[in-house]
Amino acid sequence: MLEQGVIAGDSAFMLLSTVLVFIMTPGLAFFYGGLGRRKNVISNLFASIVCMCVCIFLWIVIGYSLTFSGDTFGIFGSLANLFLEGVSTSEPGAYAPSIPAMLFVAFQMMFAVITPALFTGSIAGRMRFVSLIVMIVVWSIIVYYPLAHMFWGTGGILGVEGLGAVDFAGGNVIHISSAVTGLMLAIFIGRRKGFEHGVGYRIHNVPFVALGMALLWFGWFGFNAGSALGISSGLAIHAFMTTAAAGATGMVSWMVIDKVTQNRFTLVGASTGAVAGLASVTLGSGYIPIWAALLTGLVASPICYFIIKLVKSRIKIDDALDVFGCHGIGGVLGGILTGLFGSTAINSVLPYDGLVFSGDFTQLGIQLLAALLTIVWTAVGTAICIGITRLFGSLRAEERDEKVGLDLSQHGETAYPSFNGLD
């Protein structure tokens, strides 16, 4: 009777977590939509929204099978569960013993949806929509599914059965991979017109940004806590609290930066700081103490702020909505802090205690190597994806389309009836 209760409770929790992760993609759409220019708001929204249909379709047909069905050389799954054949809706599977196998499929599907949506922020305002869809498809197959298997799949070469790296909820698999891809696309496609004069970066709707941040943070509780794959162990509650802690201190830290640099507090800055903190704690949310999560948010914002300034002001790369600065650096930072503050007392899956608790550099070294290998895999895979996508036409929209805005030129729609097309 107790076992049935545990299964029912874990299943209910995981179903809720799945819905929470799903709501993050519309949240990201509003976050990106508000940060961009008025003439591209629909384009920015649609870039995230389209992932909801394309990536769910791919995951059902081939994605789950390539990621979690068996093992091939520690890099891929297999083709055993194409179209989810053989996946039970009532019996547990190999990855989560207290929930139905199909529920695990659904939870992981939402990760596959939001990951490519993240990198769309880097090329906001200048990529053809058709080329973006092609990129999402080939990138999911070539980069995301293998990377997810390598960290999370049985026999994966980078996970605890291989290299020994941990990634509780996607610091490497989701944040670093999407950020490196976004940076490469931004470099390949080139800067927006007027970028050098600050024309490209014009926030048009701050309430959209705040709404998007709120939905992202709301969903992030399911993102991280749900990665415990059940509520009965207490690990999910721990991950919930580390998520709350890092998001809060990330916001506070960025507000301090705003006050120091601009002598005012900004809602956009506070929202960005929360996202930086949340991205940085994702990898270690199930391994580090709550006090370390508070520290994570405090250090994440100034580091991400500096990298954003470096990328845009010094290196002159037009990462439009700062995907690399927040998510890429946040993912790397999460690995470093897990290597420092990770504790086997919190989660026995962690191979070694972090440096602070053991005096041993082993887990820190493993996490740094895993981040480096993630960057290399993503960079090579993204280069291949760009080459394939180019077979279907130019990645960049035509100059006149950019000038009038992608909303009208790509979609024939405008977000605001009174819009004059000049902003």
**So what's the pLDDT on residue 417?**
79
Any idea which of 189-198, 293-302, 358-367 has the lowest mean pLDDT?
Answer: 189-198
Supply the pLDDT for residue 167.
98
State the Cα–Cα distance between residues 29 and 47, nearest whole angstrom: 8
**Residue 372: count of CB within 10 angstroms of its CB:** 13
Residue 367 one-letter amino acid: Q
pLDDT mean across residues, the chain: 95
> Which of 213, 188, 351, 208 has its CA nearest to residue 273?
213
pTM of the model: 0.96
Q: What is the pLDDT of residue 269?
A: 96
pLDDT classification of 2: cutoffs 50, 70, 90:
very low
pLDDT at 233: 87
Residue 344 has what pLDDT? 98
DSSP for 233-268 reads TSHHHHHHHHHHHHHHHHHHHHHHHHHHHHSS--HH
CA count, 13 A, side-chain hemisphere, 143: 35
- Tens digit of each residue's pLDDT (9 = 90 or more) over 284-337: 999 999 999 999 999 999 999 999 999 988 899 999 999 999 999 999 999 999
Q: In the chain, what are the domains?
A: 2-73+80-411 (1.10.3430.10)
Give the C-alpha distances (Å, rounded to integers) separating 168 from 201, 379, 380: 34, 22, 24
Pairwise CA distance, residues 57 & 51, whole Å: 10
Per-residue pLDDT averaged across 360-369, rounded? 98
Closest CA to 115 of 77, 80, 67: 67
